[in-house]
Amino acid sequence: MKSLLSVQSHVVHGYVGGRAAIFPLQTQGWEVDNINTVNFSNHTGYGSFAGSSLAPEELDSILTQLETKLNVQYKALVSGYIPNADLIRTLSQHLPRLKRDGGYYLLDPVMGDNNYMYVDKSCIKEYQNILLLDDLVDIITPNQFELELLTGLRITCKLTLIQAINKLHQEYNIPYIVITSVSGEIFDSQTNDIFCVVSSSQGCKVFKVPMIKSYFTGVGDLFSALLVDRLEKNDMDLSTSVNQVLTIVSWTLKLTHKSALLAQRAAAKNENAGELVGKINDADTMKYLELRIIQARDYYSYDGPGEFVETDMDRLLD
């Protein structure tokens, strides 16, 4: 069996962090060990939540136990939301041992989005320190804002985007890079599209992804999990894998949006209920927009060509 270690958040209710990542991986045959970096009642988008973060000493003792007593061997490691710098540092100290059997590591440097940080600034340096360690990170999946934080470069156009990506390749030696969402402005897009940019030895490619006008949470966590699975099945072919993952994620979002409308209408007992748009910190809309991770079960094995058009970055520069 192929086994994987997932280090992410846990919520009792809803689907973010490990809760969005683990079930899809399990359906694809992965034995997932999961460390919960936080233990919360629900994700913070509801406006209220309860629970606590894992203590760094406890993370250390759990990882030590896995490495020395259980002699775990992981084919893949995934890290997502880690709430503070101490926990990131503790994880980084264990990474060389966790990777000793040649597993590959996907780092999703979850720090914020749209120029807003939801972890402390001290986390940036800790992630940079992980990147500086020798060849530990195989795949990285920041969004545009996180790419800026990691590289210190402000991304205002295609050229600065490429500079930032090259910095990750050259200074940090990361072979597989996916910038999960780049704003339309960078690509002079007049529509509401976002762009997913992938870069590896195969070159740099761009996918245009139509956006559903709503606030979903856990999408990035689902994306990273599916990417690990697809890369393993596609012999590390990044652009094929990303196209498949984008396809699965878009189906999951459509299903979620459709189910959310039905659920909201059923609750309102009113066919004319207004347009449902998820708003952050609004429990009334959030509760309908939890990803339908369970109902999307049959999507996760998708291995077709992908529904998105891939464009070479070079062509876009002309």
If DSSP codes are grouped into helix, strand and coil, which group holds residue 175?
A: coil
* Residue keyed to tokens 């402390």: 120
Q: Please name every residue paired with 219 in a beta bridge, in sequence order, or none if there are none.
A: none
> What letter would DSSP give residue 249?
H
Other CB atoms within 10 A of residue 132 CB: 13
273 versus 317: smaller Cβ distance to other proteins: 273
Tell me how far, at minimum, the Cβ of 36 lies from other proteins, in Å: 7
205 versus 257: smaller Cβ distance to other proteins: 257
Residues that bind other proteins (CB under 8 A): 1, 10, 12-13, 19, 23, 26-27, 29-31, 33-36, 39-42, 46, 48-52, 54, 58, 61-62, 64-66, 69-70, 72, 259, 262-263, 266, 283, 286-288, 292, 294-295, 297
Tell me how far, at minimum, the Cβ of 54 lies from other proteins, in Å: 7
DSSP per-residue string spanning 99-144: TTT--EEEE----EETTEESS-THHHHHHHHHHHSTT--SEE---H
Dihedrals phi, psi of 6, to nearest 5 degrees: -110, 125
64 versus 129: smaller Cβ distance to other proteins: 64
Question: What is the CA 15 to chain-centroid distance, rounded?
Answer: 13
Tell me how far, at minimum, the Cβ of 250 lies from other proteins, in Å: 20
Tell me how far, at minimum, the Cβ of 247 lies from other proteins, in Å: 22
| Residues 230/245, Cβ–Cβ less than 8 Å | yes
11 versus 197: smaller Cβ distance to other proteins: 11
* 75/66 Cα distance (integer angstroms): 14
94 versus 205: smaller Cβ distance to other proteins: 94
10 versus 205: smaller Cβ distance to other proteins: 10
Tell me how far, at minimum, the Cβ of 69 lies from other proteins, in Å: 6
Half-sphere exposure of 137 (CA within 13 A, CB side): 28
Tell me how far, at minimum, the Cβ of 283 lies from other proteins, in Å: 5
Q: 190: which 2 tokens?
A: 């007049």
